[in-house]
């Protein structure tokens, strides 16, 4: 049984569209804006879904519609990250994807979750925020290197893609624990 948010990303290797790669930082702005507003992630930590989840878990049970919403937004944030970090040329959308999947643990509509842990989860995740702060410059350096390689050669070799995919997976595990509150299992730092 899965206890953490599980993320699968298959990067697009080989020939890439140079024009969209060149303008990628600009093209990604609308998707990043949506993620920053409503996604329960580290990038945005959309306050409304997090607040609703917190109140619902504390006083009632975790509603099925909120689990579906959190899943959709985590998946959209993952697609946005994969697009921004040059892992794919597919613009982020809310459709199902075979290349990018986010699987949540079964929480039995909140019955499997501790009702009081959400009050301190964000605090318990502080060591993870530090790890993310250390890893983020490396991810941006890998992305910049890949951006230059794609513009020069037209191909994405995948150099460093495992690190970037591990980083995105790690972001999702933290978001699932501290913000989307779909697991009580403390996120592991090790990537697959």
Calpha distance 57→29 (Å, rounded): 32
- Strand, coil or helix: 31: helix
Per-10-residue mean pLDDT, the chain, length 192: 84 89 93 78 60 72 78 90 93 87 77 74 87 93 94 86 93 86 81 58
Q: Compute the residue count for the chain.
A: 192
In sign, the C-alpha dihedral spanning 57, 126, 77, 26 is positive
3-state secondary structure at position 47: helix
Tokens standing for 46? 């959309």
What residues pair up with 156 in beta bridges, in sequence order? 14
User: Does pTM surpass 0.75?
Assistant: yes
So what's the pLDDT on residue 75? Answer: 92
Closest CA to 86 of 29, 161, 26: 161
DSSP for 104-135? ----GGGTTS-SSGGGTHHHHTHHHHHHHHHH
């Amino acid at each position: 049984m899965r206890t953490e948010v599980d993320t699968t990303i298959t990067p697009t290797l080989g020939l890439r569209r140079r024009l969209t790669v060149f303008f990628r930082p600009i093209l990604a702005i609308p998707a990043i804006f949506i993620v920053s507003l409503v996604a329960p992630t580290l990038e945005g930590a959309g306050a409304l879904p997090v607040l609703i989840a917190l109140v619902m878990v504390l006083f009632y049970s975790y509603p099925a519609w909120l689990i579906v919403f959190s899943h959709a937004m985590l998946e959209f944030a993952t697609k946005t990250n994969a697009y921004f970090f040059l892992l794919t040329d597919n613009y982020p959308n809310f459709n199902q994807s075979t290349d990018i999947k986010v699987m949540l643990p079964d929480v039995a509509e909140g019955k499997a979750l501790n009702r009081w842990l959400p009050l301190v989860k964000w605090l318990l995740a502080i060591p993870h925020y530090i790890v993310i702060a250390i890893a983020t410059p490396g991810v941006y350096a890998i992305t910049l290197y890949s951006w230059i390689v794609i513009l020069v050669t037209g191909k994405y070799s995948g150099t460093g893609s495992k690190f970037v995919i591990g980083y995105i997976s790690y972001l999702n595990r933290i978001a699932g624990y501290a913000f989307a509150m779909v697991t009580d299992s403390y996120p592991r730092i090790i990537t697959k």
